[in-house]
Amino acid sequence: MINTLYLPELREMLVEKDQDSLQEFCTALHPARTAEFMEGLTPEEVWAVLQYADLSVRTEIFSFFELPFQVDIIEAHSPAEVAELVADMSADDRVDLLADIEDDFSDQILALLPTEERRDVLRLSEHAEGTAGAIMTTEMARLPEELTVREALDEISRQAEELETIYYLYVVDENDNLHGVVSTRQLITALVKPELRLKDIMETEIIHVSDSDDQEDVLRKMADYDLIAIPVVDEELRLVGIITHDDILDVVVEEAAEDAYRSAAVEPLEETYMQTPLLILSWKRGVWLIVLFLGAIFTAFALKHYDAELDNYKWLVLFIPLVISTGGNTGNQSATLVITALNKEEVSVDQWVHVLQRELVMGLVLGGGLAVLGFLTALFIAPDIISACIIPITILLVVISGTLIGSTLPLIFEKIGLDPALMSNPFVAGIIDFLGIVIYMTVALLLLGKAPVEETSQLLHLPLIQTFSVG
Amino acid sequence: MINTLYLPELREMLVEKDQDSLQEFCTALHPARTAEFMEGLTPEEVWAVLQYADLSVRTEIFSFFELPFQVDIIEAHSPAEVAELVADMSADDRVDLLADIEDDFSDQILALLPTEERRDVLRLSEHAEGTAGAIMTTEMARLPEELTVREALDEISRQAEELETIYYLYVVDENDNLHGVVSTRQLITALVKPELRLKDIMETEIIHVSDSDDQEDVLRKMADYDLIAIPVVDEELRLVGIITHDDILDVVVEEAAEDAYRSAAVEPLEETYMQTPLLILSWKRGVWLIVLFLGAIFTAFALKHYDAELDNYKWLVLFIPLVISTGGNTGNQSATLVITALNKEEVSVDQWVHVLQRELVMGLVLGGGLAVLGFLTALFIAPDIISACIIPITILLVVISGTLIGSTLPLIFEKIGLDPALMSNPFVAGIIDFLGIVIYMTVALLLLGKAPVEETSQLLHLPLIQTFSVG
C-alpha cells in the first residue's frame, strides 16, 4: 500500500535541495516507515532522497523496500553508483537482490564489491531455493571458547554494527566447527562473574539445521524451541550461517500463501498478485483449470453412460448439482483438516487408521444429517416415496466417500513424499464429482430397476413428466 | 507426535527411583525435547519425573507441553502441589493454562499464588481472545531514563531470570508511560561510553500496539519492522505488556490454519484435529454443510425451472457438472488470490477497479481457452454445430462471472469489516453453481429457441434420443 500523503512535500524538498528537511525525513522515523512513505516516488527520486542519509541509514531504508522496487532502483543507476549500498546490505538481502537483477548488471556490481562480500554472495547463491542455505545470512558472532564473559561482551559490542543478530554467540574452533552457543541473555546474566569463560557457560546441545534442510523444517525447529536465531551447518558440521526470527516469519507467511494458492488450484506466485504479469497469472491458473476441465469431461461421459436412466427418471437431473457439490464440500473439508493437521504436525501418516475411523464416523453423522434434509427436499420433487429415497441414500454414500477420499489422498501424498496440499480441493472435488454421479445412478438403478428399453421408455414418459411438472 | 522410544526406560527409572538418571534426563536435553520424550507418559508419571528437576527447569519443560496435556497434569494433582509451578510460569502461558482449567480448581490455584502473579492473571484474563492484550506477557524490563548504560546492564543482568525477553528495555516514567526503547544491541554497542544514560541512546519514536488491537495487526507491525518484541500500551498509553517473536509465530500459524479452515467451510478448531471431540467437529463442519446444502437446493429449483428445455435437449444435462465445476474453480481461484493479497496487504479495497480490470482480463483469457476445449468436447456430444456452440459461450460467460464474483465478494467483505476468508470457496462456488445454471439455460434458449410445448416435445423426442445415443 502506497502512502501518498507526503509525496508532494517530499518532491518539493527535492526540487529545493532542502538538505535539513531531507536529512530530518531520512532519520526521524523508523526506516521501515521512511521506506513506506517513499513508495510512491520514482526510483530516481528515491535515490536522490537517500543521498541525504548516512550510508548505514540509507541501506536500512533501502532494505525495507519490496524486492521488485529495490531492483528498479538499482537498475536505474550505474553499478559504480550502487556498489557501496549493495556492499553494505545484509548478506541474505543482498543475495536476493542480486539474483533478481539482470545477470550482466549484477556481475558488474559483484566485481565492485569487497572480496569478502563477493565470496559471501557466491557462497549463498549456491543454495537451492526453499532450503535453509538460501535464507540464511553469514553475519553472526563467532567467538573462541577461551574468551571470558567480559571479553566476549566487548567483542560483540565492537562487531555489533555488522552482525545480523547479537542475541546468540556461536562458539567455534579454528575449523569453524560449532562447539557451543551462548545467548546474550546468558552472557548478561553471567556478568556477575566476569571471570567465567564462554566454554563454562555455553550450551553444548545445539539446536541447528543443515544448509540443505527444507525451510519448512527450519520453521518447525525454530517454533518448537522458541528460538530467535538458529545456526546453519554444512556437511562437515562447520558453521556457515544463521537464520533469524524475521526471516522465518517471512517463510511462514510465504508457506501459508503457497498452501492457500494450492488449495485453490493456483500455482504459487513468486511476486505479489498485482505485480504478477497477466500472462504468467493466466498460465499459473490455466494449467490447473485445464487439468480440472479434462477431469470434468469424464463426469460428462459418466453421465452419458446413464442417459437411458436420466431419460426415464428425469427429475433425477435436478439433484445432480446438489449431489456433487455436497460430496465435493465434504471431501474438501476432510482434505483441508488433514492437510492442516499434517502441516502442524498434529497428525502423522502412521495414524491413518485412526484418521480414517474418525472420518468414517464424521461421514456417517454428517451424511445422515444431510440425508434427512435431502429426503425432505426430494419429497417435493420425486414422484413417489421409493424414488425419493434415492436422494438420502445417495447423499449418505457420497458424503462418506467424500470424508474417506478427502482424508486418504493427502495422507497418501504425504507418504509418497509429495506436498499433501496438492490434494486439496478442487482435486478432491473433481474426483468426488465423478464418483458422485456413479453412486447416484447406481442407487437409482437399484431402487427403480434397470431403465426399460427405448420403446417402453416412450410409454412411461408421459406420466412421469406430469408428476414432474406438478410436483 | 509421540516419541515412544525411551518410555520403557523412563518408567523403569521411576520404579527404581533412580535419582541420578532422572536428573540427568531432565537437564541433558533442551527442555522442548525433554517434554517431547515425556508425551507418552501418564500425567502422574510426568509429574513424578518433573520432581527430579529444579523448579526453573521443571517449569520450562512443563511449558513446552501442549496446553491440553498441561491441563491434564495440573488437574491430576491438588492445588497446593501445583501452585509453585504455576507461579513460576511465564505470565502469558499461565493465564492460558488457568483459562482452560475448571473454574473451581483454577480459583483455588489462584488463591495460592503470590499477590503479584495473582494480579497479573486477573489483568491478563480481562482481554478478549484474539487481541494484543490476550497474547502479551507482563514480564519486561522497565527502567528509568536516568540510568547509565552500565547500570542498566547490571539491572537486567539481575532481573534476567524473570523476564520474558531482555532484548529490549522499556524506558518509563513513574506513571509507567512509555518514553523510549533501548535494544540490548544498542546497550551493548554503547558500552564503549558507559557514562551515557538511557535517555541519551533510547529511541523515542516507538513502534507499539494497543492492548485492544487485533492480533493480526500486531503480527503485521512486527513483521513490517522486523521486531523481536513489541510493547503493548493501554488507553492511557501506559506500558502494560510486551508480545515476543515466539508468541507472534504462534499467531501466524494459528491465523493460517484459520484461513485454511474457512476456505474449506469448516469453523476454525480450537484444539488439534485429533483432540477435537467428534461431536464438536460434526457441528463445526455440519453447520456450513447445511448452509451450502440449502444453497444447492436453489440450484435444483433453478434447474426445475428449465425442465422443458432439458427435456427437449437432453444432451445439455451431460455438461451440467462441467459448467458448474469450471465456474466454481475459476471463482475459487480469484477469491483465494484476492484474499491472500488482502491478508498480505498487497492489495487494498481502494484498488478494486484495478483488481476487477485484472480479473476481467483473466476471465477472458482463461474462459477463451477453456471455451475452445469445451467446444471440441461438445462436437462429440451435441447434435449439431449450432447446439455445440452453447457450451463454449456458456463456459466463457461462466468463467468471467467466476473471476468477477470471486474477486468482488472478498473485497466487499473486507470493506464492510467482515473476514474476507469467509467468502472463499465453497461459498463462491455455491453462488456460481446457481448462476452457472441460469447462464447455461439462457444461452441454450437464445441459441435453440424456447422449448416447444409438451405435445410437440413428444414428437421431437425420438430423433434427439437417437442423436444422443449415437453421438
* Helix%, strand%, coil% for chain B, nearest 5: 70, 5, 25
C-alpha pair distances (Å), B213 with each of A198, B127, B137, B177, B416: 42, 10, 15, 18, 18
What is the identity of the amino acid at A86? V
Question: Among A162, A325, A419, A435, which would you mutate to test the B interface (most chain B Cβ atoms within 10 Å of its Cβ)?
Answer: A325
Give yes or no for a contact between A41 and A9, defined as CB atoms under 8 angstroms apart. Answer: no
B265 touching A (Cβ < 8 Å): yes
Residues from chain A that touch B256, judged by Cβ atoms under 8 A, are: 252, 255-256, 259
A461 and B458 within 8 Å at the Cβ level: the answer is yes
B35 touching A (Cβ < 8 Å): no
A293 and B373 within 8 Å at the Cβ level: the answer is yes
A329 and B252 within 8 Å at the Cβ level: the answer is no
pLDDT for residue A424: 67
What average pLDDT does this structure show over B27-33? 85
Q: Which of these, B46, B137, B54, lies nearest to B94 by C-alpha position?
A: B137
What is the average pLDDT score of chain B?
A: 85
* Count of Cβ atoms closer than 10 Å to residue A262 Cβ: 22
pLDDT tens by residue, B200-258 = 999 888 899 999 998 888 988 888 888 889 999 998 889 999 998 888 888 888 888 88
Spatial distance between the Cα atoms of B359 and B309, rounded to a whole number of angstroms: 32
Range list of β-strands (E), A38-163:
141-143
Instruction: Please state the length of chain B.
Output: 471
The distance of A410 to chain B (nearest Cα, Å) reads 15
Please spell the DSSP secondary structure of B84-152, one letter per residue: HHHHHS-HHHHHHHHHHS-HHHHHHHHHHS-HHHHHHHHHHTTSPTTBHHHH-BS--EEE-TT-BHHHH
In eight-state DSSP terms, residue A220 is H
Distant-in-sequence, close-in-space partners of A166: CB < 8 Å, separation ≥ 6: A141, A156, A159, A160, A184, B184, B185, B188
* Count of Cβ atoms closer than 10 Å to residue A51 Cβ: 10
Of all residues in chain A, the one with the smallest CA distance to B292 is A326
Q: Would the pLDDT of A1 be above 60?
A: no
Question: Among A322, A345, A465, which would you mutate to test the B interface (most chain B Cβ atoms within 10 Å of its Cβ)?
Answer: A322
Among the partner residues B223, B256, B340, nearest to A261 by beta-carbon distance? B340
pLDDT for residue A4: 57
The distance of A384 to chain B (nearest Cα, Å) reads 17
pLDDT tens by residue, A20-48 = 888 888 888 888 888 888 888 899 999 99
Model pTM score = 0.73
In eight-state DSSP terms, residue B29 is S
pLDDT for residue B2: 46
Q: Which of these, B228, B233, B226, B63, lies nearest to B131 by C-alpha position?
A: B233
Q: How far apart are the first and last CA of chain A?
A: 55
A256 and B256 within 8 Å at the Cβ level: the answer is yes
Coil, strand, or helix at residue B54?
Answer: coil
A167 touching B (Cβ < 8 Å): yes
pLDDT tens by residue, A282-319 = 888 888 888 888 888 888 888 888 888 888 888 888 89
Spatial distance between the Cα atoms of B20 and A62, rounded to a whole number of angstroms: 55
Q: How far apart are the first and last CA of chain B?
A: 55
A260 and B468 within 8 Å at the Cβ level: the answer is no
pLDDT tens by residue, B99-112 = 888 888 888 898 88
Q: Would the pLDDT of A390 be above 90?
A: yes
What is the CATH number that goes with domain B7-126?
1.25.60.10
Among the partner residues B167, B191, B263, nearest to A167 by beta-carbon distance? B167
B205 touching A (Cβ < 8 Å): yes
* Count of Cβ atoms closer than 10 Å to residue B257 Cβ: 23
Spatial distance between the Cα atoms of B433 and A321, rounded to a whole number of angstroms: 8
Spatial distance between the Cα atoms of A143 and A98, rounded to a whole number of angstroms: 30
- Is CATH 1.25.60.10 the right assignment for the domain spanning A7-130? yes
Phi then psi for residue B233, to 5 deg, are: -120, 155
CB pairs A-B closer than 8 Å: 358
Spatial distance between the Cα atoms of A224 and A219, rounded to a whole number of angstroms: 8
Class of domain A306-470: mainly alpha
The distance of A72 to chain B (nearest Cα, Å) reads 18
Question: Among A261, A315, A353, A425, which would you mutate to test the B interface (most chain B Cβ atoms within 10 Å of its Cβ)?
Answer: A425
B318 and A333 within 8 Å at the Cβ level: the answer is no
A264 and B332 within 8 Å at the Cβ level: the answer is yes
pLDDT for residue A30: 85
The distance of B295 to chain A (nearest Cα, Å) reads 9
What average pLDDT does this structure show over B456-460? 39
* Least reliable range by pLDDT among A323-327, B120-124, B203-207, B337-341: B120-124
Q: Would the pLDDT of A457 be above 50?
A: no
Residues from chain A that touch B24, judged by Cβ atoms under 8 A, are: none
Spatial distance between the Cα atoms of A181 and A158, rounded to a whole number of angstroms: 19
* Count of Cβ atoms closer than 10 Å to residue A255 Cβ: 20
Phi then psi for residue B92, to 5 deg, are: -75, -40
B275 class by beta-carbon count within 10 Å (0-12 exposed, 13-18 middle, 19+ buried): middle
Question: Among A283, A337, A390, which would you mutate to test the B interface (most chain B Cβ atoms within 10 Å of its Cβ)?
Answer: A337
Residues forming beta bridges with residue B177, ordered by sequence position: B238
Q: Which of these, B386, B387, B395, B339, lies nearest to B365 by C-alpha position?
A: B395
A222 and B249 within 8 Å at the Cβ level: the answer is yes
Spatial distance between the Cα atoms of A206 and A201, rounded to a whole number of angstroms: 13
Domain boundaries, chain B: 7-126, 141-244, 306-470
Torsion of CA B267, B270, B276, B278, to 10 degrees: -30
Coil, strand, or helix at residue A465?
Answer: helix
Q: Would the pLDDT of B465 be above 60?
A: no
What average pLDDT does this structure show over A200-228? 88
More confident residue, B86 or B449: B86
Torsion of CA A274, A280, A284, A290, to 10 degrees: 130
What average pLDDT does this structure show over B273-283? 86
Give domain A141-244's CATH architecture.
Answer: Roll (3.10)
Give yes or no for a contact between A306 and A334, defined as CB atoms under 8 angstroms apart. Answer: no
B332 touching A (Cβ < 8 Å): yes
A24 touching B (Cβ < 8 Å): no
pLDDT for residue A5: 62
Spatial distance between the Cα atoms of B188 and B208, rounded to a whole number of angstroms: 23
A414 touching B (Cβ < 8 Å): no
The distance of A129 to chain B (nearest Cα, Å) reads 21
Residues from chain A that touch B345, judged by Cβ atoms under 8 A, are: 1
A346 touching B (Cβ < 8 Å): yes
The distance of A451 to chain B (nearest Cα, Å) reads 14
